[in-house]
A and B are shown apart, each in its own frame.
Chain A
Amino acid sequence: MRRHEEGHTFYGYLPGGASGGILPASLGDVPLDFDTLQPYGCFIGSAAVIVLSNQDTAKAAARNMMRFFEHESCGQCTPCRAGTAKTNMLIAKDDWDKPLLAELSQVMRDASICGLGQAASNPVDYRHQILFQTN
């Protein structure tokens, strides 16, 4: 990741699509492979790498992903249908209710019917957000 756009610096990236997690630039040299991202709480998923610059924020990326998941949720099961909607409302605020978000994350992971609901909370996972020093 050496090429820079004019006026942008490397801030972070999503290694594996919308549900693979978010990593900061300091971990930009982690090899992109099946077992290399697990220690950082991420996975390769679709290997669709999304690069974020200093004009983005991890929170903004999380909001973008969660809006996507809420929209794509088929609506069958409570954890995903209601969980994505509630998570969106909670993360729209400046201050995130981390314990409540963690509970929502857990029920979505454990009780959703399909992989969309199970992975939807990955972008807001505190393990990823906490790696970003600011915002």
Chain B
Amino acid sequence: MAVRFTAPVNETLIEIADRLGIEIPRLCYKAGMEAVGNCRSCMVEIKGERVLAASCCRTATAGMQVTTNNERVRKSQQLVIELLQADMPEREYTRHNEVDEWAVKLKLESRGSRRAPPCRQTCRMPPSR
């Protein structure tokens, strides 16, 4: 679904998406704090650019075309969450675990699940040493 948008010069793509009700995953981004663009879970595709862009760090330019949910973007978002999940400890320390919540929203298979030992035996993503 294509949405035309206008935005002030200093609004980032993730802020625009939030305003338009378009959901983009995010972990290191928090409104009101300086965006650092490290987690790489908020990636979007900008037409004409070779690599994906971190939507928390990019402001809109005239004529820019942004895709938030094609195969390439979704795959990237899923892999980032999966990589992080594979390194997480067995027990949760927080009731609201953002990584797991995004994994559910992005429909990640339990390939990298760290939940139960039997899953771990079959999962393909090795946990860190």
Q: Report which A residues bind B (CB closer than 8 A).
A: 76-79, 82-83, 85-86, 89-90, 97, 100, 103-104, 106-107, 109-113, 118
Contacts and interface: CB of A to CB of B under 8 A. Distances in A.
Interface of B: 37-41, 43, 51-52, 72, 75-76, 79-80, 83-84, 86-87, 124-126, 128-129
7 contacts: A77-B40, A79-B83, A82-B84, A86-B126, A110-B51, A112-B40, A112-B51
A79 B79 contact: yes
Contact of B38 (A77, A85, A104): A77
B41 A86 contact: no
B40 A113 contact: yes
A78 B86 contact: no
Pairs A-B, 7 closest by C-beta atoms: A107-B79, A82-B83, A89-B126, A111-B40, A110-B52, A111-B76, A78-B80
Contacts of B41: 78
Nearest to A100: B124
Contacts of B37: 77, 113
Given A78-B80, A79-B83, A90 B52 contact: no
Nearest to B79: A107
Nearest to B125: A86
A78 B79 CA distance: 9
B126 A79 contact: no
A90 B112 CA distance: 14
